[in-house]
A = this chain, B = another copy of it.
């Protein structure tokens, strides 16, 4: 199971790998800041190395305490290449375009987290079962118990990796354009916010007529969030 300690109030260490050099005022090693961004985005991009060359694979992740998890096929090249290796896992949310008076001052508002550690296979059967349950429950609370139970074959075909967060940074921009000193230049400036939401559910073909969209999913769609 995931560690409860260190407490989320203690920062991640600052090292040569993870010291924020560009716009350092936008960066933090705060545990709670990093966790909030990991939790806000279901999608991450995992970086790993094969024969010295970089690969970046998009995948779903979830977090429990100081561990981030992801899953896929037991035969996946991506999972096999990451196992027991140093990995960089990045989550990015683009919150808006920032339009300035000059080209140079354009930017985007964003939240991103970069996490470093060593990926490990979750091979204890109970931990693996717990982790897969969390994957579902984290996205769709209450859904696990309503599903057709997993088979031994399905569990065998699946690998779960997890990574203890050794180092991490969060970087956030959330502001209007930074060129108020040029406010008299005659061009519109400001922010175009970007939002993501769930659209109305599309029921699968072949569904028996008496089965309705569960209230928890209807609530999620209505919330305007995507998780």
Chain A interface residues (CB < 8 Å from chain B): 17, 21-22, 42-43, 45-49, 52-58, 60, 72-73, 75-77, 86-90, 92, 94, 97, 99, 101-104, 106, 108, 110, 112, 114, 116, 132-133, 135-136, 139-140, 143-144, 146-151, 154, 157-158, 176-177, 180, 182-208, 211-214, 217, 220-221, 226
Contact A56 B101 (CB under 8 A): no
Chain B proximity of A175: nearest CB distance (Å): 10
CB-contact partner of A192 in B45, B190, B198, under 8 A: B198
Chain B residues with CB below 8 A from A147, complex form:
101-103, 187
CB-contact partner of A188 in B53, B157, B214, under 8 A: B214
Chain B residues with CB below 8 A from A213, complex form:
188, 190
Q: In this complex, which of A54, A185, A192, A200 has the most chain B Cβ atoms within 10 angstroms of its Cβ? A: A54
Contact B186 A211 (CB under 8 A): yes
Chain B residues with CB below 8 A from A97, complex form:
139-140, 198
Contact B199 A217 (CB under 8 A): no
Chain B residue nearest to A214 in the complex (CB): B188
User: Taking A47-B54, A53-B49, A88-B53 as contacts, is the C-beta distance between A208 and B187 under 8 angstroms?
Assistant: no
Contact A88 B188 (CB under 8 A): no
Q: When chains A and B are docked, how far (Å) is the Cα of A193 from the Cα of B192?
A: 22
Contact A104 B158 (CB under 8 A): yes
Contact A48 B54 (CB under 8 A): yes
Chain B residues with CB below 8 A from A199, complex form:
192-195
CB-contact partner of A53 in B17, B146, B207, under 8 A: B17
Contact A77 B21 (CB under 8 A): yes
